[in-house]
């Protein structure tokens, strides 16, 4: 609310009223001054009169005048500016009436004289001569008489009692003229002050109006625009869109909606500070403005999210705009001496479908942005119906992953690991399973990457480690349990500490715990794999290289880190049934290499006897696959172990024997 203008108006009104009051007060002051001056002069005259008149007290009481007294009266009438005077006795009767040099006693009373006798206070009034004097008296007075004062004052005896009353008419013409000059000067001064002040107030009013206009503009800016990027805010964006669509400036059939997100913006804030982050937001806003053309416009919807509405004819034009934005925004800028650069991801919706609301288009652009970020960022993606289905699926998986631990959606299944020569079960691999709230089983190859991307793999991996260790404590010794580790679990550098705490809490023998890692961990330069693997090995646990052959399969890794076990990926096992001699030779070479490096070699994915026979011929040490047992819940393990022991006894298998006869232990 602007209170400046009402204050100025109120001030102007107050000043006018003050000016009117001041001028009115002048006349009151002048009249008061004239009355006071007249009373002073009349009192002075009365004192002179009674000092000079012989036996003045008896004069008022006896009403008899001696020749000497009359002479004194005549002389006193000429003293000062007294035009006329009258003397009244203590009863209020007229004793002496002097006018034009004559005196006569009439005995008449005067109401004002009686008032003075009763109150003991003088009465004074001023006005023109014709107010107090007859025409003859006025004409007989001095020719310069223009203003007169009537003063009625008491006459006191020596003992303080009132002896009578004097009524004197005093010429105030000169005094009034002097007062008039003074009041005119004061009036001119007040008028000048009034004019200057009113002018100042008027100038203040104009300044306030200007400030009010600027203030209103600033309020409008804050209401519709984002202060950092100078683009529309959410409310202003919506208002602009509705106005442009209603006026036909924007054609819904050609409307391109882009959802822009700054990649790794949190890193900018954390590394360079929020001031630098604000500077980069300003850079993005200015760059977007420069890249757009009428009637395109953009807004910042909060954080690092920007929305663009543009008019384009087809997907190709929309794609070129996105590429231009990506190129321009990624240009490094300098903020507070720091060079900052990052990329953006863009989701684009463009469909010739006028029935879509803007919120629907925004949702679809947001889905496309989601896909762009999932595809590695620094790119743009167009919305498609297939993309919407895929993202809906991913979000369902995300929800299950993020809520899995709290809602008990995760569980472990255990797949047996058998010794090749005796088919004795020597342990189990803990395999993570996820069943969402609708009862759908989500495969690991789908939910594990999601868990890694949303940062949930750490707590999930810790839950797997603790749950598997607790389960293994209930198994007969020396059965072991193997647990897969994600690269993300090594990221914080506390994995060895977590494993140590698990072993201490559960009491599991470290030799019964096997940890499986993949080559991707060893290739990640940001992770100190050497120190962490060394710390894990110091705990006494076994470490296995998992899925060997699917990555770079660097022999240097095998030699450098000295793994305890080498697990051959199931893709090699499937291939050995073909007549491709090279596949068998590669597999046999891997097994020989593992043995030369003192590693136990395990074949995964053994599903039939033919595969088992070939692997046995290559001296593979341990088998894992559906041929020997599918993953099963913990409560089924005792039955499986009993069946495994019984089958082995019936087959007469020992540690020296090889696989022969029918398929054993297949569930």
Q: Which residue matches tokens 């002896």?
A: 163
My answer on whether omega of the bond before 295 falls inside 30° of 0, hence cis, is yes
Task: Return the CATH fold of 234-383.
Answer: Alpha-Beta Plaits (3.30.70)
User: Where are the domains positioned within the chain?
Assistant: 4-180, 234-383, 396-651
Helix (H) or strand (E) holding 517: strand 513-517
Other Cβ atoms less than 10 A from the Cβ of 145: the count is: 20
Q: Which two tokens stand for residue 651?
A: 């087959």
- Rg over alpha carbons for the chain, rounded to the nearest Å, is 57
Q: Where are the alpha helices (DSSP H) in 256-414?
A: 265-272, 274-291, 315-329, 358-374, 385-407
Q: State how far the alpha carbon of 324 is from the alpha carbons of 8, 37, 164, 331, 564, in Å.
A: 54, 95, 112, 11, 53
**Checking DSSP bridges between strand 480-484 and strand 425-435, what pairing results, if any?**
parallel
Q: State how far the alpha carbon of 113 is from the alpha carbons of 47, 119, 127, 132, 615, in Å.
A: 18, 10, 19, 15, 149
Task: Return the CATH fold of 4-180.
Answer: Beta-Lactamase (3.30.450)
Helix (H) or strand (E) holding 543: strand 542-548
Q: Is 601 left (phi over 0), alpha (psi -120 to 50) or beta?
A: beta
Contact 163, 60 (CB under 8 A): yes
Q: Where are the alpha helices (DSSP H) in 597-629?
A: 609-617
Q: Which residue matches tokens 């389960």?
A: 471
Q: Which two tokens stand for residue 514?
A: 């096997």
**Checking DSSP bridges between strand 338-340 and strand 305-311, what pairing results, if any?**
unpaired
- C-alpha to C-alpha distance for 577 and 46, rounded to whole angstroms: 152
- C-alpha to C-alpha distance for 308 and 256, rounded to whole angstroms: 8
Contact 59, 69 (CB under 8 A): yes
- C-alpha to C-alpha distance for 357 and 352, rounded to whole angstroms: 12
User: Which pLDDT does position 552 carry in this prediction?
Assistant: 61
Contact 171, 143 (CB under 8 A): no
Please choose, from the candidates 318, 344, 320, 347, the residue with its C-alpha nearest in 3D space to the C-alpha of residue 330: 344
Task: Return the CATH fold of 396-651.
Answer: TIM Barrel (3.20.20)
Helix (H) or strand (E) holding 457: helix 457-472
- C-alpha to C-alpha distance for 638 and 93, rounded to whole angstroms: 145
Q: State how far the alpha carbon of 186 is from the alpha carbons of 174, 180, 594, in Å.
A: 18, 10, 117
Q: pLDDT (tens digit, 9 = 90+) per residue, 128-149?
A: 777 777 655 555 454 567 778 7
Other Cβ atoms less than 10 A from the Cβ of 445: the count is: 7
DSSP 313: S
| Residue 23 neighbours by CB under 8 Å, 6+ apart | 187, 190
Q: Which residue matches tokens 């993949």?
A: 518
Ranges under pLDDT 70 in the chain? 1-35, 38, 44, 47-67, 69-70, 72-80, 98-109, 134-144, 182, 186, 190, 201, 204-205, 208, 212-222, 354, 525-526, 551-554, 579-580, 652-667
Q: Which two tokens stand for residue 409?
A: 């959606």
This prediction's pTM: 0.58
Q: State how far the alpha carbon of 48 is from the alpha carbons of 45, 51, 158, in Å.
A: 5, 5, 15
User: Which pLDDT does position 118 carry in this prediction?
Assistant: 86
Q: Which two tokens stand for residue 107?
A: 């005995």
User: Which pLDDT does position 100 carry in this prediction?
Assistant: 40
- C-alpha to C-alpha distance for 264 and 593, rounded to whole angstroms: 43
Q: State how far the alpha carbon of 502 is from the alpha carbons of 473, 495, 530, 541, in Å.
A: 12, 11, 21, 12
Contact 265, 343 (CB under 8 A): no
Written as one string, the DSSP assignment of 219-245 is: HHHHHHB-TTT-SB-HHHHHHHHHHHH
């Amino acid at each position: 609310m602007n209170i400046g203008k009402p204050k100025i108006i109120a001030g102007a009104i107050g000043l006018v009223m003050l000016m009117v009051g001041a001028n009115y007060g002048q006349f009151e002051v002048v009249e008061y001054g004239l009355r006071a001056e007249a009373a002073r002069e009349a009192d002075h005259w009365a004192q002179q009169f009674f000092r000079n008149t012989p036996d003045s007290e008896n004069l008022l009481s006896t009403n008899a005048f001696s020749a000497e007294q009359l002479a004194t009266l005549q002389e006193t009438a000429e003293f000062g500016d007294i035009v006329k005077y009258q003397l009244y006795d203590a009863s209020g009767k007229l004793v002496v009436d002097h006018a034009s040099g004559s005196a006569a006693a009439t005995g008449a009373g005067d109401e004002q004289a009686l008032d003075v006798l009763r109150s003991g206070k003088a009465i004074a009034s001023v006005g023109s001569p014709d107010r107090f004097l007859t025409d003859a008296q006025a004409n007989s007075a001095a020719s310069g008489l223009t203003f007169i004062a009537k003063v009625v004052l008491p006459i006191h005896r020596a003992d303080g009692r009132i002896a009578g009353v004097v009524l004197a008419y005093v010429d105030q013409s000169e005094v009034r003229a002097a007062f008039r000059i003074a009041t005119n000067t004061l009036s001119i001064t007040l008028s000048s002050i009034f004019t200057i002040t009113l002018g100042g107030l008027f100038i203040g009013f104009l300044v306030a109006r200007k400030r009010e206009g600027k203030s209103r503009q600033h309020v409008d800016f804050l209401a519709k625009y984002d202060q950092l990027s100078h683009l529309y805010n959410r409310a202003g964006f919506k208002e602009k869109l509705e106005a442009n669509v209603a006026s036909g400036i924007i054609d819904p059939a050609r409307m391109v909606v882009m959802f822009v997100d700054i990649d790794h913006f949190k890193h900018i804030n954390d590394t360079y500070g929020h001031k630098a982050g604000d500077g980069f937001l300003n850079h993005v806003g200015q760059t977007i403005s420069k890249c757009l053309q009428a009637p395109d416009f953009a807004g910042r919807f909060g954080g690092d999210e920007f929305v663009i509405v543009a008019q384009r004819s087809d997907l190709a034009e929309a794609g070129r705009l996105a590429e231009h934005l990506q190129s321009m925004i990624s240009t490094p800028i300098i903020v507070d001496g720091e060079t900052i650069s990052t990329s953006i991801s863009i989701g684009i919706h463009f469909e010739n479908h006028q029935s879509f609301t803007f919120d629907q288009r925004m949702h679809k652009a947001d889905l496309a942005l989601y896909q762009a970020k999932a595809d590695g960022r620094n790119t743009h993606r167009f919305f498609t119906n297939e993309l919407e289905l895929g993202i809906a699926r991913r979000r369902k998986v995300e929800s299950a992953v993020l809520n899995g631990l709290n809602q008990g959606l995760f569980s472990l299944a255990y797949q047996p690991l058998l010794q090749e020569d005796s088919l004795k079960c020597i342990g189990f691999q803990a395999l993570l399973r996820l069943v969402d709230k609708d009862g759908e089983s989500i495969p690991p190859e789908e939910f594990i990457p999601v868990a890694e991307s949303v940062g949930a793999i750490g707590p999930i991996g810790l839950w797997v480690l603790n749950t598997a260790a607790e389960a293994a404590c209930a198994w007969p010794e020396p059965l072991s349990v193997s647990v897969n580790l994600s690269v993300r679990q090594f990221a914080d550098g506390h994995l060895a500490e977590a494993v140590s705490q698990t072993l201490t809490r559960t009491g599991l023998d470290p030799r019964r715990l096997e940890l499986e890692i993949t080559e991707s961990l060893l290739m990640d330069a940001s992770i100190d794999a050497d120190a962490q693997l060394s710390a894990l090995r110091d705990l006494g646990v076994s470490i296995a290289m998992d899925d060997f052959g699917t990555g770079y399969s660097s022999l240097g890794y095998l030699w450098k880190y000295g793994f305890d076990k080498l697990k051959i990926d199931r893709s090699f096992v499937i291939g050995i049934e073909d007549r491709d001699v090279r596949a068998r030779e590669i597999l046999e070479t891997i097994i020989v290499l593992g043995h030369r490096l003192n590693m136990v070699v395990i074949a995964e994915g053994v599903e039939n006897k033919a595969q088992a026979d070939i692997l046995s011929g290559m001296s593979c040490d341990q088998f894992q696959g559906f041929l020997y047992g599918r993953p099963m819940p913990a409560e089924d393990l005792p039955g499986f172990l009993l069946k495994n022991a019984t089958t082995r006894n019936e087959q007469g298998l020992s540690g020296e024997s090889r696989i022969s006869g029918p398929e054993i232990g297949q569930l």
